[in-house]
Amino acid sequence: MNVHSPSQLRSYIGASLVEADGATLDEVLRGLDRRYPGVRFRIIDEQDRVREQIRIFVNGEQEFDITSPVGARDEIVIVGALSGG
């Protein structure tokens, strides 16, 4: 499946689009973390919840539960909040 990452994560991932696999959203994120150490912690907090400033969309639908199943043809988009003053 394709995973689109926000610019905030590019220092970890190095690209805006990567291929990944897994049966659940959590498996996908753990797989990405094996390839790009530290990236999962930037997306998921210590209670295994999506961080407040992050949104994850699977096939255009926002997903809150990282145990949700995903398929090989799904498209995952990770979006980071913009901030500034």
Q: Domains along the chain?
A: 2-80 (3.10.20.30)
pLDDT greater than 60 at residue 84: no
Q: What is the mean pLDDT of residues 71-82?
A: 93
Measure the CA–CA gap between 21 and 72, rounded to whole angstroms. Answer: 7
Q: What is the pLDDT of residues 42-56, one digit of tens each?
A: 999 999 999 999 999
Dihedral of CA atoms 12, 17, 19, 20 in degrees, nearest 10, equals 60
Q: What is the pLDDT of residues 18-29, one digit of tens each?
A: 999 999 999 999
pTM above 0.75, yes or no: yes
pLDDT greater than 90 at residue 66: yes
